[in-house]
Chain A
Amino acid sequence: MAYLLPQLLKKSAQAFPEKVAVWARGRSLSYRELEEGSNQLAHLLGKLGVKKGDRVGLFFPKSVESVISMLGVLKAGGVYVPLDPQAPASRAGYILGNCGIRILITNREKRQALGAAALASVEHCILTDQEETGKAGGVLEDAVLEWSSLGHFPLSYAPEVAMTEGDLAYILYTSGSTGEPKGVMLSHRNALTFVDWCAGEFRLSSDDRLCNHAPLHFDLSVFDIYNALEAGAAVYLITEDLALFPASLASFIESQRITIWYSVPSALTLLLLHGRLTAEKMKSLRVILFAGEVFPLKYLRELAEMAPGAELYNLYGPTETNVCTFYKVERDRLAKLDKLPIGIACANTEAFLITDDGWLARPGESGELCVRGPSVTHGYWGDEEKTQTMVVPNHLQTAFEEKIYRTGDMATLGADGNFYFGGRRDRMIKSRGYRIELGEIESALLSHAAVREAAALAVPDEIVGNRIRAVVCLHPTGPMPGVDLPQRILALQQHCASRLPPYMIPESIDFCAELPKTSTGKIDRIKLAAAG
């Protein structure tokens, strides 16, 4: 059995060298090409000084080079950090600096968009897009390297780096409540615990054809990429030219005979509403997985009818544990179900509920969902304080030392043996499956000189989960009160856009003279939400 992620590729490259491994934007790579390309990249990275544990950033739109990059970094012993290609320069720059990225794999457009300030920590960029003809450069001397430099390196073997399963594989940055994104550190063992469970539960084979709908900085993609590699299956990367167009996507599922689908529920809802779906188009799908937010039962029932032959699974888990519980939809129960379970713990994982008093919750009683096992993160990069509040000793057993992850999600254990999600303890929300800390949006708003107070609120939405609304109170003597309303809103949205990814920008902003307060002087969010 594999204990390092690249071993999954090596095994499949030996068994199926000429099979398609990855497809994106009309280009595909065979298993041999992926193995060889990632070997070459690993050698190049090694020459550039990448050693075990060094972070390498990936900042470019999804393409076959994304998967070569992920595997190449791992083979060099490095830790890859996929950045949101739509993140503004300041946020990407924060992440590059936060985890000390010296080497960035990017393209011309993204590199230019980052600018010198964001690239301050970066010594070398490797560009994935085509070089201009006639331009030749050295392999190691240049700060900017062409993808063609890979051709200088051996392709049949990877560099030798002594690694074990506890070494870090990748860092995924998510929204942070204090105003800056935080990097969740995941090891090879963390990832493989999940991959091995999936391989058994969903019985993947080399005949499967997977879809990668989620962005690569989103942990749903771990299944798509690594379970495909594990099984010797093909993974089709869904880029925005398909992802945004439900009818095109439905035709794609049919024409590529996709067998396994994994996405956030809102992507499935849009397929149902606008994909012109027929049971015929969905015929090839044998497993449909969804995670990241609550799937409205109304749409799940429609999906079950549209894909009568598919097994449907609700997967649950924060990035810090990857998937930790799952519910296989019982079709005969679906009509009378009034709440969708998040199910039971995955293999090698223990999930339990701790009440506010610190005891194990009894059946039916609400508690914070806590998770223990080899899928749980090591913590947050460079933030020991945050790590210690989230990954904590298990006080319920003192016989030996063990850590549990507190998800911040409240849940109950139903009479049917399933866990049921019951909301958040804190102010994290989900929109299109993305984790959003309302506090991070408020920090962005407050960093504008004209803003005195700001509250970000989630407005429930049937399709995307939540929309974001903000209420802002301006400095009376500041520059903005005289500006007309549409311009004010725009100015604040643009200010947010320079700090936050598009999905975190408030869709609407209201202004008031003073935010309502509770008796203890805190912003009264209940009153604010009711007023909206």
Chain B
Amino acid sequence: MIETAEVKDRIREYILEEFAKSKGINQIADDEMLTANGILDSMGIFRLVAFLEDTFNVRVGDEEITNDNLESVDAIERLVTSKTRK
């Protein structure tokens, strides 16, 4: 079982490298709203989901791709952890 902190680190790292830095954002807080400030756009959401599925070996259904589950690093970690602990 990977630790919560490590899950968050990997999610944060991916979002920073793939989406945030190219938009001039070099750090993100774990509770920062990723969708409200334009870090994630409509296509970015699906790349992020593909990353989560590959990295953490989980399956995220279309019905789970919601703001509540993906709005921040904290929220994404909760989604991933709820799946890996099943």
Tell me if A61 and B36 are in contact (CB < 8 A). yes
Cross-interface CB contact of A503 among B40, B41, B45, cutoff 8 Å: B41
A494-527: CB near B (< 8 Å → 1, else 0) gives 1001100011010000000000000000000000
How many Å lie between the Cα of A494 and that of B25 in the bound state?
Answer: 8
Tell me if A494 and B22 are in contact (CB < 8 A). yes
How many Å lie between the Cα of A10 and that of B70 in the bound state?
Answer: 41
Tell me if A274 and B62 are in contact (CB < 8 A). yes
Cross-interface CB contact of A88 among B21, B24, B41, B70, cutoff 8 Å: B24
Tell me if B62 and A498 are in contact (CB < 8 A). no
Tell me if B23 and A497 are in contact (CB < 8 A). yes
Secondary structure dominating the interface of A: helix
Cross-interface CB contact of B62 among A247, A490, A493, A497, cutoff 8 Å: A247
Tell me if B22 and A244 are in contact (CB < 8 A). no
Tell me if B65 and A274 are in contact (CB < 8 A). yes
Question: Is B82 in contact with chain A by the CB < 8 A criterion?
Answer: no
Q: Tell me the smallest distance from the CB of B60 to a CB of chain A, in Å.
A: 11
Tell me if B62 and A248 are in contact (CB < 8 A). no
Contacts of B70 on A, CB cut-off 8 Å?
Answer: 245
Tell me if A245 and B23 are in contact (CB < 8 A). no
B34-46: CB near A (< 8 Å → 1, else 0) gives 0111101111011
Contacts of A490 on B, CB cut-off 8 Å?
Answer: 21-22
Cross-interface CB contact of A240 among B21, B35, B43, B46, cutoff 8 Å: B35
How many Å lie between the Cα of A499 and that of B47 in the bound state?
Answer: 25
Contacts of A498 on B, CB cut-off 8 Å?
Answer: 24
Cross-interface CB contact of B24 among A241, A464, A494, cutoff 8 Å: A494
B62-83: CB near A (< 8 Å → 1, else 0) gives 1111110011000000000000
State which size class the interface on B falls in.
20 to 34
Secondary structure dominating the interface of B: helix
Tell me if A505 and B22 are in contact (CB < 8 A). yes
Q: Tell me the smallest distance from the CB of A124 to a CB of chain B, in Å.
A: 25
How many Å lie between the Cα of A241 and that of B23 in the bound state?
Answer: 20
Question: Is A329 in contact with chain B by the CB < 8 A criterion?
Answer: no
Contacts of A494 on B, CB cut-off 8 Å?
Answer: 21-24
Tell me if B71 and A241 are in contact (CB < 8 A). yes
Cross-interface CB contact of A502 among B38, B65, B67, cutoff 8 Å: B38
State which size class the interface on A falls in.
20 to 34
Tell me if A247 and B21 are in contact (CB < 8 A). no
Tell me if B42 and A243 are in contact (CB < 8 A). yes
Tell me if A247 and B42 are in contact (CB < 8 A). no
Q: Tell me the smallest distance from the CB of B84 to a CB of chain A, in Å.
A: 22
Nearest-neighbor residue (CB-CB) of A267 within chain B:
B42
Also in contact, A248 and B36, with CB within 8 A (given A88-B24, A275-B62, A276-B62) = no
Tell me if B65 and A245 are in contact (CB < 8 A). yes
Also in contact, A86 and B38, with CB within 8 A (given A242-B67, A246-B62, A493-B22) = yes
B4-43: CB near A (< 8 Å → 1, else 0) gives 0000000000000000011110000000000111101111
Tell me if B24 and A245 are in contact (CB < 8 A). no
Question: Is A270 in contact with chain B by the CB < 8 A criterion?
Answer: yes
Nearest-neighbor residue (CB-CB) of A490 within chain B:
B21
Cross-interface CB contact of B23 among A247, A464, A502, cutoff 8 Å: A502
How many Å lie between the Cα of A498 and that of B24 in the bound state?
Answer: 7
Question: Is A463 in contact with chain B by the CB < 8 A criterion?
Answer: yes
How many Å lie between the Cα of A497 and that of B21 in the bound state?
Answer: 9
A219-247: CB near B (< 8 Å → 1, else 0) gives 00000000000000000000011111111
Interface residue ranges, B against A (CB under 8 Å) = 21-24, 35-38, 40-43, 45-46, 62-67, 70-71
User: What would 20 more interface pairs be, CB under 8 Å, given A245-B65, A505-B23?
Assistant: A61-B36, A86-B37, A86-B38, A240-B36, A241-B67, A241-B71, A244-B41, A244-B42, A247-B62, A247-B63, A247-B64, A248-B65, A270-B42, A274-B46, A276-B62, A490-B22, A493-B22, A497-B22, A502-B23, A503-B41
